[in-house]
Amino acid sequence: MPEDSVFVGADREDDGPLARLGDYLLSSAEVEEARRRAVRFAERLPWLTDAQRADVERVFAADWAAASRAIDARVSARSAELVIEYATRYRFLRTRCLLAVTAGIGVMTGVLGVALLVAR
Q: What is the pLDDT along the chain (120 residues), one digit of tens a residue?
A: 444 555 444 445 566 888 888 888 888 999 999 999 999 999 999 999 999 999 999 999 999 999 999 998 999 999 999 999 999 999 999 999 999 999 999 999 999 999 999 988
Under DSSP, is residue 26 helix (H, G, I), strand (E, B) or coil?
A: helix
Exposed, middle or buried by CB within 10 Å (0-12, 13-18, 19+), for 57?
Answer: buried
* Entry pTM: 0.61
Measured distance CA(91)–CA(93) in Å, rounded: 6
Distance of CA 82 to the CA centre of its chain: 7
H helices of the chain, where? 17-43, 50-119
Measured distance CA(101)–CA(117) in Å, rounded: 24
